[in-house]
């Protein structure tokens, strides 16, 4: 019955419009957050690009596939989980990175890079990991072409956002804030509309195993991202950034693909999975931020001070020269702006 409810013309069209607009605003905000100077720097030293590739298109699809196997999901639920796992990073990670004193430039570059890479790698990952359910109708009808088309349509607002950032930085800052608020508003409205369409039995229609995956999958992403950054020997604030970037998926893109490329009768209540994922990824990221605010801020200040002392070689050299100067004598100023050294005795 839930597929027929999804087929209601007016509500279905309203959801399609809302999902499409929300995705466009989100991608526009992502483009507005990208600075061409930082982008060029990252391309010359593409650590962020490599981390986005490994986190979003190696670790997360594998996690989604393994969880679908462990919990023995049916083909419809498995495709919804795989689709969410193969999505690029979302804007939520950018906001959370600020709250944990992360590397904002790294977060934005990873989000933008994974979004662009998704155009080719997301359909590839879906094709690879859906082989286990290849004999089912939903996988045989998996619209990889439509997925690529939806991903391609996101390039226009991203490019427009980059242009706005280059021409009108203040307007770009405003659009970034609007996109973050639209993320929250869109998800809330989607929950309300979907609940209206499916009725009071919505929670009962979704298997407990799907709820368990929606809880475990973001946690696994956060842990794998932190471990990945540790392998690359990144500083603590970058580890927190990569952790959040890996676990936070672009649920608006996942929702758009499920809504715009699958028939309502086929996908049914599994349309709700990315919304559940959004709920738990936000809650878990919020706990991450709270734990950092309570226990990690002092260590962050010490780490920052330590990095400055260790990496600022010219500053250290200058200080050493000043110490060396005072051990030999004092500086006096004579006429004609000349500087002479007067020897002084040093008590041994």
Q: For position 93, which CATH number holds?
A: 1.20.1530.20
Give me the DSSP letters along 282-327: HHHHHHHHHHIIIIIHHHHHHHHHHHHHHH-HHHHHHHHHHHHHHH
For residue 339, what pLDDT is reported? 47
Structural contact between residues 279 and 206, judged by C-beta atoms closer than 8 angstroms: no
Domain count, the chain: 1
pLDDT of 325? 46
**Can you give the pTM of this predicted structure?**
0.74
344 in a domain, yes or no?
Answer: no
Identify the pLDDT of residue 43: 67
Predicted confidence at residue 207, as pLDDT, reads 86
- Is 210 within the bounds of a domain? yes
In a domain, 58, yes or no: yes
pLDDT of residue 103: 86
List, for the chain, all residue ranges whose pLDDT scores fall below the cut of 70: 1-16, 38-43, 137, 140-141, 143, 146, 191, 193-204, 264, 268-269, 297-348
Instruction: Give the single-character DSSP code of 68.
Output: H
- Residue 155 domain boundaries: 16-296
pLDDT at 67 (0 to 100): 96
How is residue 176 written in tokens? Answer: 């970034």
Residue 102 lies inside a defined structural domain of this protein: yes
pLDDT digits (tens, 9 = 90+) for 121-153: 998 998 899 888 877 767 766 767 767 777 777
Domain membership flag for residue 338: no
């Amino acid at each position: 019955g839930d597929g027929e409810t999804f087929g209601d013309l007016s509500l279905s069209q309203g959801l399609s419009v809302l999902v499409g607009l929300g995705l466009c605003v989100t991608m526009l905000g992502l483009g507005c957050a990208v600075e061409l100077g930082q982008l060029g720097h990252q391309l010359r030293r593409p650590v962020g690009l490599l981390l986005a590739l490994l986190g979003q298109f190696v670790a997360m699809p594998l996690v989604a596939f393994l969880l679908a196997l462990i919990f023995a999901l049916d083909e419809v639920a498995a495709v919804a989980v795989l689709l969410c796992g193969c999505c690029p990073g979302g804007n939520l990670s950018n906001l959370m990175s600020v709250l944990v004193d992360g590397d904002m430039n790294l977060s934005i570059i990873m989000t933008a890079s994974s979004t662009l890479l998704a155009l080719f790698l997301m359909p590839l990952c879906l094709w690879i990991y859906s082989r286990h359910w290849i004999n089912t109708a939903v996988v045989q009808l998996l619209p990889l072409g439509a997925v690529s088309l939806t991903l391609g349509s996101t390039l226009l607002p991203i490019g427009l956002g980059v242009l706005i950032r280059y021409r009108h930085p203040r307007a770009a800052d405003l659009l970034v804030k609007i996109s973050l608020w639209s993320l929250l508003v869109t998800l809330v409205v989607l929950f309300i509309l979907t609940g209206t369409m499916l009725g009071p039995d919505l929670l009962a229609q979704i298997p407990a195993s799907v709820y368990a995956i929606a809880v475990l999958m973001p946690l696994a992403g956060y842990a794998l991202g932190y471990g990945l950054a540790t392998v690359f020997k990144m500083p603590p604030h970058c580890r927190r950034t990569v952790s959040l970037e890996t676990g936070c998926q672009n649920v608006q893109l996942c929702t758009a693909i499920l809504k715009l490329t699958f028939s309502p009768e086929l996908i049914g209540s599994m349309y709700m999975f990315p919304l559940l994922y959004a709920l738990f990824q936000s809650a878990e990221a919020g706990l991450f931020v709270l734990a950092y605010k309570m226990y990690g801020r002092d260590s962050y200040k010490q780490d920052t001070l330590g990095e400055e002392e260790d990496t600022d070689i010219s500053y250290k050299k200058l200080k050493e020269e000043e110490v060396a100067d005072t051990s030999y004598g004092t500086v006096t100023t004579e006429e004609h702006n000349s500087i002479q050294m007067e020897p002084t005795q040093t008590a041994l």
